[in-house]
Amino acid sequence: MTSSADAPRDPSDPRPRVPAWVGDVVGGILIVAFAFAPVPDEHYAPPNWFALAFSMVAALALPLRRRWPIPVLAADIALFGAAAASGALAPGLGLAMAIAMFGVTNRARGRGTAAIVTVCAVASVVLLCLPVTIGSPFQPRVFQYALAIAFAAAAGDATRSRRQYIVAITERAERAEQTREAEARRRVSEERLRIARDLHDAVAHQISVISLNAGVASSAIETRPETAKESLATIRSASRTVLGEIGALLQVLRADDDEAPTAPQPGLDRLDALTRQIGEAGLDVTVRVEGDLSRVVGATGLVAYRVVQEALTNAHKHGAEHRAHVLLTAVDAALTIVVTNPVGVRPTDQAAPAPGDAASPGDAPTPGSRLGLTGLRERVATVGGTVETGPAPGGWRLTAVLPLNAEASS
């Protein structure tokens, strides 16, 4: 009665299922066997040929219950009533009704329909038993068929609920797995962007210093050896610095979260050192401060330092006249950074030689990738700030507005 053959086949279920015809054969055999079962109570007539014939019809109609469960149940109840009208209570037909009832509730789309069908079936069976039970309407055997149908209905409903529960938890598990995969991809993407920004911050400025001083040294090595020596010394210092920063970055990447080094991040307190290093590389930097920079701490201080570093590096690489101006304004709840520099061409199009030196034969205009500005915008966005870049009267201008005392989001 509760064979797995009665349940709809779930293609995602890897468990083997008993073929449907096996359940039909077993059910038909049991229905016919019960039809020949003797009736032990003297109040009831033994099964007659009508009951046996009706039981055979019910057994043959058993496979149709999957496509038409309610009509098959109604037919079994009608056959049971016909047998009862002939004076016999047929146990085989009782089993056929129970199997059909199980199929109805197992395949019902909602419990409302299943409950209505169950109540109607039980009431019908009790009423149909009355002609056979005149004189003893309260005999236990009268209610056995009704109880069997009710039990089959409950078993079918439980099977359907279990199947729906398995489908629901499977779907939730699949959604959770997809969510975990999406979250993992998002974290990997964010980590790649963070590493790209940190790598750019660590090497871009120093590599720019090395490149520009290498051009100076190559063009001045014969005519001005002292200038070439100074450029080579700057290259050596910048190389050591960039190697140290790359080593620190690799150490952070290789370390576990609990063992990651906690070296202090640069802030605006190192602005003088930055402008001095840029000045030694050949860029004349003028800095003007309005307001109290001691309020610029935490994530905002780090981002502000990176903004100035990136802007001065671009001014050194792509600007003209080898000078730049930095304005820091810390008023109210925001820090405004404005870096301007003269340009002869677009800042991302061509690098300029060092002051007083001709370009070396290997120097050629190189297209800018703008990855530095992209990374800068991403870094500023982590503290809720904004960046604007573009031509300005007399040159190029970068403007960044950062909220004070902001916490980085990534």
* Distance (Å) of CA 296 to CA 52, 101, 286, 306, 321: 96, 76, 20, 13, 31
**Which pLDDT belongs to residue 79?**
83
Reported confidence tier of residue 343, pLDDT bands at 50, 70, 90: confident
Reported confidence tier of residue 258, pLDDT bands at 50, 70, 90: low
Range of 169-183, 195-209, 222-236 with top mean pLDDT: 169-183
Structural domains present in the chain:
14-177 (no CATH), 267-410 (3.30.565.10)
d(C-alpha 35, C-alpha 48), whole Å? 9
CB contact at 8 A, 311 and 383 = no
What is the full DSSP assignment across 214-250? HHHHHHHTTT-HHHHHHHHHHHHHHHHHHHHHHHHHH
Give tens-digit pLDDT for 345-393. 544 433 334 333 433 333 443 445 566 778 788 888 888 899 998 888 8
**Which pLDDT belongs to residue 131?**
66
**Mean pLDDT across the chain:** 76
d(C-alpha 214, C-alpha 219), whole Å? 9
CB contact at 8 A, 368 and 348 = yes
Q: When comparing pLDDT for 141 and 200, which is higher?
A: 200
Whether the per-residue pLDDT at 58 is higher than 50: the answer is yes
**Which pLDDT belongs to residue 347?**
43
**Which pLDDT belongs to residue 47?**
60
The pair of three-digit structure tokens given for residue 334, joined into one six-digit string: 């925001």
d(C-alpha 213, C-alpha 230), whole Å? 9
Give tens-digit pLDDT for 290-320. 988 888 888 888 889 889 988 888 888 888 8
4-18, 64-78, 269-283, 353-367 — which is least confidently predicted?
A: 353-367
Which letter, b or e, does each residue of 353-390 get, where b requires 16 or more Cβ atoms within 10 Å of its Cβ?
A: bbeebeeeeebeeeebeeebbebbbbbbebbebebebe
